[in-house]
Amino acid sequence: MKFGASTWLWTSPFTGDQIALLENIAALGFDFVELPVEEPSHIPVATLKPVLAHLGLEVVICAAVTAGRDMSAESSAARQQAFDYFESCLALAEGLGASCVVGPLYAPVGKARLGTESLRRAQWERSVASLSQLAQTAGNCGVKLGLEPLNRFETDMINNVADAQRFLQQVASPYLGISLDSFHMNIEETDFRRAVVSAGEQLIHLQVSDSHRGVPGDGNSDWAGLRDGLRAIGYRGKIGIESFSPDASSLAEAVCIWRRFAESQDDFARDGLAFLRRWWAGA
C-alpha cells in the first residue's frame, strides 16, 4: 500500500517555491504527495516534475472547490468558470503524472442549504451535465476524477457512497470514480466496511484522518472496519493523510481547526504514517 500526505497538513496555499516541504514529505517516508490546487498558476509543472521524480514522490491532485468553482451553479458563465478551473487541474495532473484529481467536484464546499425539491433537482442535473463534459476531458488526459462525498455541514448534494453512486450512474463514465475521506465517513456512513464494499471498484482514492480530524489512531474511527472493507474489494489505490494546520489561518478557519493535534505538523505526519503502516499490516 502507498501512503501519502497532503501539503494542507503544513501550509496553504502550496506554491512551486516550497520545494523544502516536498523534501520533508519524502524524508518522513511517504510514497506520494497530495497537491491541493488553490490557484493553478501556483503549481509550475516544469519546476516540480523533476523535483518529484528525484524525491520518488508520486502525485495526487486535490481540487480546492471554493465558491467560484461551482459546477452546479445556475449561471452558465459560473459553470464555465468552474469547468476552466477543473480543466487546469487535469492539465496539471497530466503534466505531473498524477493518478487522479479528487475533491467535491460537483459543488463548492459550504454550499449546504435546505432547498426545495425542484431546486435540488435542478442543481443536481446541472452538476451531472457539467461532470459528464469534464469526464470526457479527463479521458483525453488519461486521468481519473474522484468524486468526494462531504459531510452534511459542508454540502447538501453528496454526503455518502450511495449519493456518489447515484451521481456516477447518471454520468456513466469510466473516468469518474469515488474518493472517500474517513473524516466525512465518520459522520455520514453507518458502517465503514459496508460503505467501502459498496463502493467497490469505483473507489479510486482514500483520504484519512481520525474522527476529530486529528492524527490517525488517536480518535474513535472504525479503523478495523475500514481495513476489512479495503481488503475485501482488493483496493489498489492510494491512502493519503489529509488534515490542516492551524498556522494556515484562512484555511484553518474555513475547516474549523481551532487547536493543534500534535506538537508539530511533522509529528502529526510521522505518527500518522507509523499508525497507518501498523494498521494496514495488522490482522
Write down all domains in the chain, each with its CATH number in brackets: 2-281 (3.20.20.150)
283 residues of the chain, pLDDT tens digit each = 999 999 999 999 999 999 999 999 999 999 999 999 999 999 999 999 999 999 999 999 999 999 999 999 999 999 999 999 999 999 999 999 998 999 999 999 999 988 889 999 999 999 999 999 999 999 999 999 999 999 999 999 999 999 999 999 999 999 999 999 999 999 999 999 999 999 999 999 999 999 999 999 999 999 999 999 999 999 999 999 999 888 887 787 878 888 889 999 999 999 999 999 999 999 5
pLDDT of 234-253, one tens digit each? 999 999 999 988 888 778 78
- The pLDDT value given to residue 115: 84
pLDDT of 7-50, one tens digit each? 999 999 999 999 999 999 999 999 999 999 999 999 999 999 99
SS (H, E, C) the chain: CEEEEEHHHCCCCCCCCCHHHHHHHHHCCCCEEEEEECCHHHCCHHHHHHHHHHHCCEEEEEECCCCCCCCCCCCHHHHHHHHHHHHHHHHHHHHHCCCEEEECCCCCCCECCCCCHHHHHHHHHHHHHHHHHHHHHHHHHCCEEEECCCCCCCECCCCCHHHHHHHHHHHCCCCEEEEEEHHHHHHHCCCHHHHHHHHHHHEEEEEECCCCCCCCCCCCCCHHHHHHHHHHCCCCCEEEECCCCCCCHHHHHHCCCCCCCCCCHHHHHHHHHHHHHHHHHCC
- The pLDDT value given to residue 64: 98
- The pLDDT value given to residue 283: 59
Q: Provide the annotated active-site residues.
A: 148, 242
- The pLDDT value given to residue 182: 99
